[in-house]
Structure 1
């Protein structure tokens, strides 16, 4: 007689079914650095559009604040990236962030509107305090806000082009001292000394309007 042996189910409970293993997670995509985009654009010019998409709005906001003219800011922004495209073969690939480079180009282009900028600052300086909207000064070191108070507009109008460029790159573009030095092509020591002189000028001008 053939007998069938069954396992003792009470003594050895069946193991629960094993859950299917989760598929391996996909690697997280990392954005190419600015330097990588520029380098890739040497072989594939269309890759440069990625740099424009990444930084054009920021450059435009800065130009618009400097010039108080959206059309002029449009022109400065477009020209900034056109100049950058033409000069991309000379970009230092060791600098992963292209913002200082782009701000440096934009600053030179804004200089073509220097007289208009100075006239605007002087016009704002003549406004009555209660009518002016303003760049609010958070401290003697930083100038920021939505518009310009007359006293501060007068102080900015009294700065040299080099002083104004440096101050606003640090205050509005929020560049570090090292980045501002790179943008303007000057030594870091010059950045520190020039900002110190500029803060002193701003403070004295504000005190005279108090």
Structure 2
């Protein structure tokens, strides 16, 4: 057995001794401080940090299981930091969801304003729609679109030109239909 293997086994044995002593108290600590659905995740993260920093745990000897009073305060500190990190991450996720909901509501309002454009896009093939979206919404040049779609730059340019032409024709048709003059209900009749 090499020195590295020996050190790894000793490190593993130290961690297992530590885990045997602190897992249950850390679990209770977390249950009292966070939502039930977060406890196991935070405990897992705490144990991962303890594994990484097993050499830094004060009071952890190389032999038999450590004295709980020697190691537990430091482990509580690790759990406390892991819990704070989890809460910050949860807050970031919540803010992201709120932003996405807001963006979705805005895009829904915009979709209502641009239904003719979305209809024109819908008339294109899926690949042509993607080429147009990459060009218009993401601001990519044909060379970059070619990398994304695995087409040649020339094929992208041709598809983009044809798609823009189809969209313009579709939008003109929509405008003509919307502006078609109609007859007024009382046109040509007397008001008698």
Q: Which has the larger radius of gyration?
A: 2
TM-score (norm 2): 0.34
TM-score (norm 1): 0.31
Q: Which has the higher helix share?
A: 2
